[in-house]
């Protein structure tokens, strides 16, 4: 198979890490893989306008949603603090709905699930989003079965990922699905991240959910757990 066209959709006040985790993971796969297995990554937005992220940094897009046509391999909608405005933007939602019909896979990261839900793409499906916004998503889109726990969920050809850095877990899952586990492991090693967290792992890990230990000695023991576990 030739290049796979992977389109990441951003909007005003998108989350920089949602976009960066996906694009960096795919770029690393290109560097470590072979040319015939490459990804072609495009960042798109309404009107092809630059994306001013929630961090204040600006990303230049390569494609306008209006001019983008399929077939696409994967359509990935980012999240960010601007997700409510994005989900209320009929033009953006309409183009996401149109492009989803021309894509092999459709995905969202973090609060980007609201855009997929607004497009009707999550109706009757189980989906996840950032844990902090899960209740809001469920209340606004009652046809969606929102699960606030998993890192990511696959329902047919539709994938939803949880908060922010779960974008990297989703990207590693795509790489493994497309090219096998060895390339996914190589990418994870080069990015110095988990080899791959399973999609059903809880967003709130043991470390993040528990209070920080008061004792320096206890903190040292907790920090050392897993240091000797082989890859």
Catalytic, 110? Answer: yes
Cα-based torsion angle of the residue sequence 141, 154, 78, 110 in order, rounded to the nearest 10 degrees: 70
Query: What global pTM score does this model have?
Result: 0.86
Identify whether 228 is part of a domain.
no
Q: In this structure, what are the phi and psi dihedrals at residue 73, rounded to the nearest 5 degrees?
A: -75, -55
Q: Which helix (H) or strand (E) holds 209?
A: helix 206-209
Identify whether 211 is part of a domain.
no
**According to the model, what pLDDT value does residue 108 have?**
99
What digits encode the pLDDT tens for the residues 76-130? 999 999 999 999 999 999 999 999 999 999 999 999 999 999 999 999 999 999 9
Identify whether 176 is part of a domain.
yes
User: For residue 100, what is the domain's CATH number?
Assistant: 3.40.50.880
What digits encode the pLDDT tens for the residues 37-76? 789 999 999 999 999 999 999 999 999 999 999 999 999 9
Identify whether 230 is part of a domain.
no
Of 110, 118, 183, 188, which is the active-site residue? Answer: 110
Identify whether 219 is part of a domain.
no
What does the alpha-carbon distance between residue 14 and residue 21 come to, in Å, rounded to a whole number?
13
What does the alpha-carbon distance between residue 132 and residue 92 come to, in Å, rounded to a whole number?
24
Q: Is the dihedral of CA 204, 206, 210, 212 positive or negative?
A: negative
């Amino acid at each position: 198979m030739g290049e796979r066209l992977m389109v990441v959709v951003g909007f005003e006040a998108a989350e920089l890490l949602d976009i960066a985790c996906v694009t960096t993971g795919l770029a690393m796969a290109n560097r470590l893989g072979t040319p015939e297995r490459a990804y072609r990554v495009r960042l798109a937005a309404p009107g092809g306008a630059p994306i001013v992220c929630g961090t204040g940094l600006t990303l230049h897009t390569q494609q306008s949603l209006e001019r983008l046509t399929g077939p696409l391999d994967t359509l990935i909608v980012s999240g960010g603090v601007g997700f409510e405005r994005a989900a209320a933007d009929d033009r953006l939602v309409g183009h996401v709905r149109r492009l989803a019909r021309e894509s092999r896979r459709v995905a969202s990261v973090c609060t980007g699930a609201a855009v997929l839900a607004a497009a009707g793409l999550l109706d009757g499906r189980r989906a996840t989003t950032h844990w902090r916004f899960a209740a809001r998503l469920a209340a606004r889109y009652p046809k969606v079965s929102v699960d606030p726990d998993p890192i990511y969920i696959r329902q047919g050809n539709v994938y939803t990922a949880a908060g922010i850095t779960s974008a990297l877990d989703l990207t590693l899952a795509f790489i493994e699905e497309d090219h096998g586990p060895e390339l996914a492991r190589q990418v994870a090693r080069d990015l110095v991240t988990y080899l791959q967290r399973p999609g059903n792992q809880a967003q709130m890990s043991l470390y993040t959910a528990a209070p920080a230990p008061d004792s320096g000695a206890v903190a040292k023991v907790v920090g050392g757990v897993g240091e000797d576990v082989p890859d």
